[in-house]
Chain A
Amino acid sequence: GQNIDQPTEMTATEGAIVQINCTYQTSGFNGLFWYQQHAGEAPTFLSYNVLDGLEEKGRFSSFLSRSKGYSYLLLKELQMKDSASYLCAVMDSNYQLIWGAGTKLIIKP
């Protein structure tokens, strides 16, 4: 079956760095997405990785290793507004998104 695993919850301190991991097993691979979702709101697109390596976008970076079925989202210089759920999703061979359950990130002052 298809499976996406990510931690349920993480806590970090304002100004620090946090890494949210995602491992996947899917039928085919056409890219991996990271989304941010604040409570009661729709997800916001953060990144898309289809090739191995690190993609940097400001304070957020996303890494992919296809051979290991592994990705991480790195958040630097954490701000209180970064408190949200972070969703990992993989596009399978049918171009459908398979979703992880999300990681709730709590930022403390």
Chain B
Amino acid sequence: GAVVSQHPSWVICKSGTSVKIECRSLDFQATTMFWYRQFPKQSLMLMATSNEGSKATYEQGVEKDKFLINHASLTLSTLTVTSAHPEDSSFYICSARVLTGGDHEQYFGPGTRLTVT
């Protein structure tokens, strides 16, 4: 099946620094990419939706200046957490969607665990 990779898989950073997370669809071109965050024992929360070459659409309550999303190509999207704080510590998961013969298929990356100290 389709593979989505994320890098890094985990990162520890100091408060006030910025962290970039990459998401790649390895063997397919994604029509749309999504960024989620998940706190322990909670459901996935959609942060933003992005299409290649256009600005991301952020969900209500998500600060677009803090969570910068760049969707450079049909296979690469990046999420940059700027001026990270301990409350940003979470599991960040990207997802890529492909439309195949009229069917939507959406695959998830393995996730990036961010710890801000």
Answer yes or no: are A and B bound together in one complex.
yes
User: Residues on A close to B: CB < 8 A?
Assistant: 30-31, 33, 35, 40-45, 48, 50, 87, 91, 95-97, 99-102
Q: Is the Cβ of A99 less than 8 Å from the Cβ of B44?
A: yes
Contact, CB under 8 Å: B43 / A100: yes
Contact of B103 with A87 in the complex, beta carbons under 8 Å? no
Determine the main DSSP class of B at the interface with A. Answer: strand
Question: Quick one: closest A residue to B108, CB to CB?
Answer: A42
Tell me, in angstroms, the Cα distance from A45 to B42 when the chains sit together. Answer: 18
Chain B residues with CB under 8 A of A42: 91, 93, 108-111
Q: Kindly report which residue of chain B lies nearest to residue A44, judged by CB atoms.
A: B108
- Residues on the A chain within 8 Å of B46, using CB: 96-97
Which residues of chain A have C-beta atoms less than 8 A from B43's C-beta? 87, 99-102
Residues of B within 8 A of A (CB): 1, 32, 34, 43-44, 46, 49, 91, 93, 103-111
Secondary structure at the A interface, as helix, strand, loop or mixed, is loop
Q: Which residues of A contact B104 (CB under 8 A)?
A: 30-31, 48, 50, 91, 95
Decide: B49 and A96 in contact? CB cutoff 8 A.
yes
Known: A44-B108, A50-B104. 10 other contacts (CB 8 A): A31-B103, A33-B106, A41-B111, A42-B108, A42-B110, A42-B111, A45-B105, A87-B44, A96-B46, A96-B49
When distances are taken between beta carbons in the complex, the residues of chain A under 8 Å from B49 are 96
Residue numbers in A under 8 Å from B44 (CB-CB): 43, 87, 99
Flag if A48 contacts B107 (CB, 8 Å).
no
Query: Can you spell out 18 A-B residue pairs with CB atoms less than 8 angstroms apart?
Result: A30-B104, A31-B103, A35-B108, A41-B110, A41-B111, A42-B108, A42-B110, A45-B1, A45-B106, A45-B107, A48-B104, A95-B32, A95-B104, A96-B46, A96-B49, A97-B106, A100-B43, A102-B43
